[in-house]
């Protein structure tokens, strides 16, 4: 059979999968591997020379106090942001799946902040915190204090991502069989008991996806960080990604910045994948 020949299969693959694979290699795999190579150099990001320094950059990265302080802040920021994003998104999804009037309008409305880019969103909220709230409450800007800046960053991230995660939760709510919900009502569940015992367990895959997406997005937050606080005051809101960027492009330590980026990637991947592996246990089709 012609279809069973290896050469035929390769031809077919190259025809249909080839362009996509080439593009993926060109824009993801090659830069990633090249980036790994750069971690072994002391390149400044500009010169043509890339002196090989072995694992020196990783040694420096592990002893870079600012980097680990930024990493610590990123972890704290991520914990709060992930929790609040998911609580709010779940609540909104519940609200817009109850058949209320105009629920499609609300779904679209809650999703809009996700369409506005992080940079624009950051500047809009910066205006709100620095001008509007200051004028209304006649107080100093929240962005001017260390705790306030972190709070603002979390608030804006929640605002930005809750609508997006809401859509995944909406899909989760809609995938729960109506018959199963009704069976739980007949079995004696109150609304809260049905939610706890039936709906939430059946939406486990939505939780896994949303938590994974929010963790990975929060760990590498940069745009909102840049436009809203720019790491200020006193670097108290500098997140790991911003520190990496500054290290590579502002301080011209590209090799070090790159190795810090690799560490950030590993931390993010380990946390994300662990969460998915744990979450996937006991997952069932609704």
| Residue ranges binding other proteins (CB under 8 A) | 177, 179-180, 182-190, 193, 197-198, 201-202, 204, 282, 284-286
CB of 210 to other proteins, least distance (A): 18
Token pair 């779940």 in the structure block, residue: 90
Three-state secondary structure along 217-274?
HHHCCCHHHHHHHCCCCCCCCCCHHHHHHHHHHHCCCHHHHHHHHHHHHHHHHHHHHH
Smaller CB distance to other proteins: residue 47 or 177? 177
Smaller CB distance to other proteins: residue 21 or 197? 197
CB of 172 to other proteins, least distance (A): 13
CB of 194 to other proteins, least distance (A): 10
Q: Are 219 and 78 in contact (CB under 8 A)?
A: yes
- The rounded distance, in Å, linking the Cα atoms of 61 and 58 is 5
Q: Give the number of residues written for the chain.
A: 286
Smaller CB distance to other proteins: residue 42 or 209? 209
CB of 95 to other proteins, least distance (A): 22
Smaller CB distance to other proteins: residue 112 or 192? 192
CB burial string 23-56: b at 16+ within 10 A, e below: eeeeeeeeeeeeeeebbbbbbebeeeebeebeeb
Q: Is 41 helix (H, G, I), strand (E, B) or coil?
A: strand
CB of 96 to other proteins, least distance (A): 21
Phi, then psi, of 177 in degrees rounded to 5: -60, 135
CB of 175 to other proteins, least distance (A): 11
- The rounded distance, in Å, linking the Cα atoms of 23 and 278 is 33
Smaller CB distance to other proteins: residue 88 or 202? 202
Smaller CB distance to other proteins: residue 41 or 184? 184
Smaller CB distance to other proteins: residue 190 or 250? 190
User: Which runs of consecutive H residues, i.e. helices, occur in 3-64?
Assistant: 6-16, 18-24, 30-38, 56-62
Which residues, including other chains, have CB under 8 Å from residue 138's CB and lie 6 or more apart? none
Smaller CB distance to other proteins: residue 78 or 205? 205
CB of 93 to other proteins, least distance (A): 19
Establish whether the linkage from the previous residue to 119 is cis, with ω within 30° of 0: no
- The rounded distance, in Å, linking the Cα atoms of 33 and 40 is 11
Count of CB atoms within 10 A of residue 278's CB? 11
Nearest to 78 by CA among 209, 219, 226: 219
CB of 272 to other proteins, least distance (A): 24
């Amino acid at each position: 059979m012609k279809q069973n020949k290896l050469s035929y299969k390769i031809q077919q693959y190259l025809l249909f999968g080839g362009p996509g694979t080439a593009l993926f290699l060109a824009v993801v795999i090659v830069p990633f591997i090249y980036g790994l190579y750069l971690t072994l150099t002391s390149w400044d990001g500009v010169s043509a020379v890339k002196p090989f320094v072995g694992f020196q950059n990783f040694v420096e990265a592990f002893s870079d106090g600012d980097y680990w302080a930024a990493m610590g802040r990123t972890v704290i920021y991520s914990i709060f942001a992930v929790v609040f994003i998911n609580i709010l998104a779940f609540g909104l999804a519940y609200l817009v799946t109850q058949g209320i009037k105009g629920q499609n309008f609300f779904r679209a409305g809650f999703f809009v902040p996700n369409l506005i880019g992080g940079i624009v969103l950051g500047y809009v909220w910066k205006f709100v915190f620095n001008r509007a709230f200051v004028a209304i409450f006649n107080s100093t800007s929240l962005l001017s204090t260390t705790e306030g800046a972190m709070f603002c960053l979390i608030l804006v991230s929640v605002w930005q991502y809750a609508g997006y995660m809401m859509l995944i939760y909406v899909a989760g709510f809609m995938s729960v069989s109506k018959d199963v919900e009704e069976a739980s009502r007949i079995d004696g569940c109150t609304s809260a008991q049905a939610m706890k015992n039936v709906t939430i367990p059946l939406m486990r895959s939505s939780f896994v996806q949303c938590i994974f997406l929010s963790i990975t997005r929060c760990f590498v937050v940069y745009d909102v960080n840049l436009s809203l606080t720019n790491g200020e005051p006193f670097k108290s809101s500098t997140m790991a990604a911003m520190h990496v960027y500054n290290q590579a492009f502002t301080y011209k330590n590209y090799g070090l910045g790159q190795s810090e980026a690799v560490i950030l990637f590993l931390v993010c991947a380990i946390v994300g994948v662990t969460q998915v592996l744990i979450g996937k246990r006991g997952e069932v089709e609704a």
